[in-house]
Amino acid sequence: MRIKGLFLAATLVFISCSISQAGIPKIEFSERTWDFGRVPQNCTVSHIFWIKNVGTDTLKEISVKTP
Amino acid sequence: MKKTELAIGDSTELEISYSSRAAMTQETKHVEVSSNDTTSGYNRLEITADVKSKPDTLLLLKYSPYTIEFIEEKGGAIKEKKVEFKNSGEKEYKLKIIDYPKELFEVKLSQDILKPGKVLELKVKPLKKLSPDTLKNSVTLQVKGKKEFRITIPIKKEKPPEKSPPPIKWDWRK
């Protein structure tokens, strides 16, 4: 009975370690909206959004789509 | 976007450009960003612009020029450019630079507060030789007056015009 208990505890520790090692990627943005305000007609303006991986695994396949 | 893959703690920039057309009311555009992060779901980045005619007659804060245009001179030198702001109203304005490409330009205001009837300058100085390709960027200012609003001034450097071949000389007397 005691051996069974020890085996169960060891299994639980192994599972929790495996989960923490797998990790998950997490995307974070400097901001999600940007207001240019008053912009003259017929011109081009630009703004840089920063993307950061705040997760615990590599963030992959980052792609941008314009609808 | 410079990278499509980010290690833990790493970051990258995503430049979003907006081209205005005719003057209108506020316009909103967006892009969708996707990745292998399944927890965030739908990532929508949104930009808004209030497109105004030139000159912007409704604004009491007059400024000129509307676009900062860099022209490469002989030897590749590029001079600092200035935008002049004049307060034509009766209340003072407080100006603050909130966005510009820091790796390309040094941007300064001659003063922060613009009293009625007074003038101030926004100075834009290139930090390095600008790319020969067409450059499209901008400076955004936060303005606090009777109301709070933003002004974005485009910065551009056009590709120098290509030299046309010399005209063919033909001496008909020969």
Q: What is the pLDDT of residues B24-36, one digit of tens each?
A: 778 999 999 999 9
pTM above 0.90, yes or no: no
Residue B80 lies in a domain: yes
Task: Tell whether B85 and B12 lie within a shared domain.
Answer: no
Sort out which chain A residues have CB atoms less than 8 A from B32's CB and list them: 64-67
For B133-159, write each residue's pLDDT tens digit: 567 789 999 999 989 999 999 998 866
Closest C-alpha among B48, B113, B69 to residue B87: B113
The verdict on residue B8 lying in a domain is yes
> Which residues constitute the domain of residue B92?
53-157
Q: What's B67's domain CATH number? A: 2.60.40.10
pLDDT at A17: 46
Widest CA span in chain B: 83
In a domain, B165, yes or no: no
- For B138, the closest chain A residue by CA position comes to A45
Residue B44 to residue A32, Cβ atoms within 8 A: yes
Q: What is the ipTM of this complex?
A: 0.85
- One DSSP character per residue, B37-79 reads -TTT--EEEEEEEEEE-SS-TT-SEEEE-SSEEE---GGG---
Q: How many domains does chain B have?
A: 2
Both B45 and B84 in a single domain?
Answer: no
Order across the sheet with A44-53: list the strands.
Answer: A27-29, A44-53, B11-19
Q: Is residue B67 part of a domain?
A: yes
